[in-house]
Amino acid sequence: MTQPSPEPQPVLAPLTAAAIFLVLTINPGGEAAVRDVFSDWAGLQRAVGFRAPGPPLGCIAAVGSQAWDRLFSGPRPAELHPFTELHGARYRAPATPGDVLLHIRHERMDMCFEFASQVMGRLAEMVTVADEVHGFRFFDERDLLGFVDGTENPVGAAAAVSALVGDADPEFAGGSYVIVQKYLHDMQKWNALSVEAQERTIGRFKLSDIEMADEVKPVNSHVAVNTLIDPDGTQRQILRANMPFGDLGRGEFGTYYIAYAATPSVTEQMLANMFIGRPPGNYDSILEVSTAVTGGLFFAPSADFLDDLPDPPGGPAPESEAAAGPAAEPGPADSSTVGTGSLGIGSLKRSTQP
């Protein structure tokens, strides 16, 4: 009898109006608390999501290479490794700290915020927040540069093939490799360009979202350098869930780039094309106005994996994974964070620097 395929986390869920991205590092001794939250991940989603009937709450937990062996015994995902920094002739894609990535999305920001609050209340003092971004839908699926983002995302069966691990690594089937980067845009420089110059930078027409013909599209446009075609003519794809974000007080505006893939090598090749160039020196012209300030690679295991975690390193887990003590209840936000848009729980803080 054929075994059922592992149930993935909601990697393939449609784009939403709101999202919170949290990149965490695990403090020494915090591993049991993180495992405890992972083991209750589905229950937390049900508890929070049930309070607002309608579109489901989609919450994804992913683990970085250096944290994997601190959390789990046994095999590890075959292609999980630290994010590789890229140093081109003019531009750099940095690697920044991160043990755990939380991608929380819903049509309502309050739902995202509540779930994140519950998680961070249980992880208080056990983790440090390396980065926190609150993303939002900007008009008709456009980024802050004014172009539609995610047009070429695969759909249906193609999305699953592109984003989820299959038979190549059966121990981790249903999982997905996730690469994240936070890009800050120089909006003053961008807005000084003519619409025609902006279109040549992206490789699409701004109003219609139609891709330029190959004979017109610049070879260093964003579309051109990010299109990967195999020798047999097959296009290699990833599943993006990018979101715009902004902070008016800081004058920071950008795109949170998040790409799910069955193998990180596809996303890594796209980034190499952007920052090193294809050929070298023919880098992505969008980097003239967009600067990557973070970079991380994680693995989002299947929902089944989270429901039945492997033993921790060194032997079976104790009866309660939260051996350090009872789970902390979320408390009121510190008054210094009120009105800032930050969760303000425990060590949670906003950060726009790697």
CATH code for the domain in which residue 27 is found: 3.30.70.3420
Among 241, 276, 256, CA closest to 59: 241
DSSP state of 120: H
Residue 307's domain spans which residues? Answer: 13-337
Residue 41 lies in a domain: yes
pLDDT of 2: 58
Mean pLDDT lowest among 42-51, 60-69, 156-165, 227-236:
227-236
Residue 5 lies in a domain: no
Do 100 and 212 touch, CB atoms closer than 8 A? Answer: no
Beta-bridged to residue 24, according to DSSP, are 100, 129
% of the chain beyond a pLDDT of 70? 88
Task: Count the domains in the chain.
Answer: 1
Rounded to whole angstroms, how far apart are CA atoms 279 and 112? Answer: 41
**pLDDT at position 306 over 60:** yes
Residue 46 lies in a domain: yes
pTM above 0.75, yes or no: yes
How many residues are recorded in the chain?
A: 354
Q: Is 178 helix (H, G, I), strand (E, B) or coil?
A: strand
pLDDT of 53: 85
Residue 238 lies in a domain: yes
Query: CA of 229: how far to CAs of 186, 225, 319, in Å?
Result: 31, 11, 50
pLDDT of 5: 86
Residue 345 lies in a domain: no
pLDDT band at 165 (very low <50, low <70, confident <90, very high): very high
Beta-bridged to residue 299, according to DSSP, are 63, 177
**Which residues are known to be catalytic?**
149
Residue 283 lies in a domain: yes
CB atoms within 10 A of CB 66: 15
- In this prediction, residues 156-180 reach a mean pLDDT of 97
Residue 353 lies in a domain: no
What sign has the CA pseudo-torsion 299, 305, 308, 312? Answer: negative
pLDDT of 326: 42
* pLDDT 10s digits, 285-301: 999 999 999 999 999 99
